[in-house]
Amino acid sequence: MSLYNLSPPPPMDDPVLVMALAGWGDAASTASDAADWIAESGEPIVSFDPDSIFDYRSNRPILRFSSGTLSSLTWPRMEIIHVRPSGKDVLVVVGNEPDFAWASISDALADLVGVFGVSHLVTLGAVPAPVRHASTTATFCTATDPRLLLAGDEALMDDIVVPASAGTVFRAAIEDAGVPAIGYWAQVPQYVGRPYEPAIYSLLVKAAAQIGIEFDLSSIELEATNQVTKLDEILEQRGDAREFVEGLDLRVGRTSLVPEDLPTADEIADEVAEFLRDSDDEG
């Protein structure tokens, strides 16, 4: 069985490849949400065989029921979607981080970027960080070619050792195939859940600049502003949480200053989710 199915690709001119997969390195699903937004109106030209790359016990299919009747079954997937925003060819790798065949997928992607004539790769990621929510999300980047760095890009200069995500493994293979790459990482407050609109907005701004187009991000920008306002309202109701969040920058590396009875990140995230659900119901 073939690892993937390739549909006849349309004519493309120096496409940019954007990649973000749900899983490790995707705090609050921020990066995968951003990639899905870019790919929303496109068509898949590469579909990887799910039986070959997923363990369905860890990446389970999603069932949806309506009035007690099964309405849909959604399988985990990994695809390459072709879109043409403003006439620019863009390929977007979307879906779930695979459980198996990372080396084989890496080889396949290295071959495919040559077939498609990819100009450069942009990876999107998100990490949980001890930062306060804000309308502007801090991002840092790593790049194989400094010429890919744009105004405002902050390159990661520290030496770090971290477990690899599938996306970073695939990026290494694509780089080895001679395609320059840059990766953007959004810093997501460790106490928020999905979706975190300010970080989605920031990653989309970075992706648009690398693609060389302007996305209409007005609706996401508005959602980000509203979400920050709602989070502020939650913290106004929780004095202990507000004190912690407002002093996050001061407390990095000084955990002894954190009160033992402080709500956990999960507890704050649960309150955020409940607040947002209640707000949607009222609307």
Give pLDDT, residue 136.
Answer: 86
Give pLDDT, residue 283.
Answer: 54
In whole angstroms, what is the distance from residue 276 CA to residue 282 CA?
10
* 78-83: strand order across its sheet: 4-6, 43-48, 78-83, 90-95, 16-19, 120-129, 181-189, 139-143
In whole angstroms, what is the distance from residue 49 CA to residue 79 CA?
9
Give pLDDT, residue 248.
Answer: 67
Query: 213-242: b or e for each residue (b if 16 or more CB lie within 10 Å)?
Result: eebebeebbebbeebbeebeebbeebeebe
Residue pLDDT tens, the chain, 283 long = 689 999 999 999 999 999 999 999 999 999 999 999 999 999 999 999 999 999 999 999 999 999 999 999 999 999 999 999 999 999 999 999 999 999 999 999 999 999 999 999 999 999 998 888 888 899 999 998 899 999 999 988 777 788 899 999 999 999 999 999 999 999 999 888 899 999 999 999 999 999 999 999 999 999 999 999 998 888 888 766 666 776 665 444 333 333 344 445 555 556 555 554 554 565 5
Q: For residue 209, what are the contacts with CB-CB under 8 A and spacing of at least 6? A: 150
Give pLDDT, residue 251.
Answer: 46
Give pLDDT, residue 168.
Answer: 95
Rg of the chain in Å (alpha carbons): 20
Burial of 152 (0-12, 13-18, 19+ CB in 10 A): exposed
In whole angstroms, what is the distance from residue 111 CA to residue 141 CA?
25
3-state secondary structure of 257: helix
3-state secondary structure of 191: coil
For residues 62 and 74, the answer to whether their CB atoms sit within 8 Å is: yes
In whole angstroms, what is the distance from residue 237 CA to residue 242 CA?
8
Q: Considering the chain, tell me which residue range(s) the CATH 3.40.50.10900 domain(s) occupy.
A: 4-217
Give pLDDT, residue 253.
Answer: 39
φ/ψ of residue 55, rounded to 5? -95, 110
- 43-48 and 4-6: which strand pairing? antiparallel
DSSP letter for 85, please: G
Fold of the CATH domain 4-217:
Rossmann fold (3.40.50)
- DSSP conformation letters of 106-170: HHHHHHHHHHHT--EEEEEEEEEES----SS--EEEEESSGGG--TT--B--S----PPPHHHHH
Q: For residue 168, what are the contacts with CB-CB under 8 A and spacing of at least 6? A: 25, 123, 125, 183
What share of residues in the chain are helix, strand, coil (percent, to 5)? 40, 25, 35
